[in-house]
Amino acid sequence: MGDSGIPGFFDAFPMRAVTSSNLDDALSDDGRLRILFLWGRDCPNCDIAKAQMLESPARFLWPDVAWLHDNVYDDRAMATRFGLHGIPTFMVFRGTTKLGRISPWPGGDHFIAAIERARAPR
C-alpha cells in the first residue's frame, strides 16, 4: 500500500493502515474519534489533501482523534461498504457509529472545522 504522489506521507503523518476485513476491530470504542481516510494511488485530489495536511500537520492532529487509512483501489470491498463515488473521502466515527462523511476534500480550514464540530460534546 504505497503512497505514490506524496512519497513518505504515511511515514510523516500518523495513520494506521486498515482494510475492509479489520476495520471494525480498528474502530474500538475507547472514546476517541476515528477519521478513516479513503484514498487511492495516483488520485490527484487525494494528493492535494495529503499535501495540505503535510504543510501544517499539527493542525490535523488532536489528542482525542485517531487516524486510519485505506487505499480503496487495492481494497474495493471498502469502497463498496461505504458506497463511494469519489475519493478522497473521510469517514468520521466514534466507536463503530458513523458520525459523518467528508467528501470531496474541502480544504484544510473547512476540514478542521468539521472535525471540531464532531469532537464537540453532545
pLDDT of amino acid 31: 86
CA distance 56 to 107: 12
CA distances 112 to 23, 60, 75, 78, 87, Å, are 23, 7, 27, 24, 18
H or E element that contains 71: strand 65-71
pLDDT of amino acid 2: 54
Which of 119, 120, 78, 84 is CA-nearest to residue 102?
A: 84
Q: Can you give the residue ranges of every domain in the chain?
A: 9-22+30-104
CA distance 122 to 110: 20
Read off the pLDDT of each residue in 68-92 and give the average, rounded to a whole number: 97
Model pTM? 0.94
Q: Tens digit of pLDDT for each residue in 88-111? A: 999 999 999 999 999 999 999 999
Q: What's the CATH fold of domain 9-22+30-104?
A: Glutaredoxin (3.40.30)
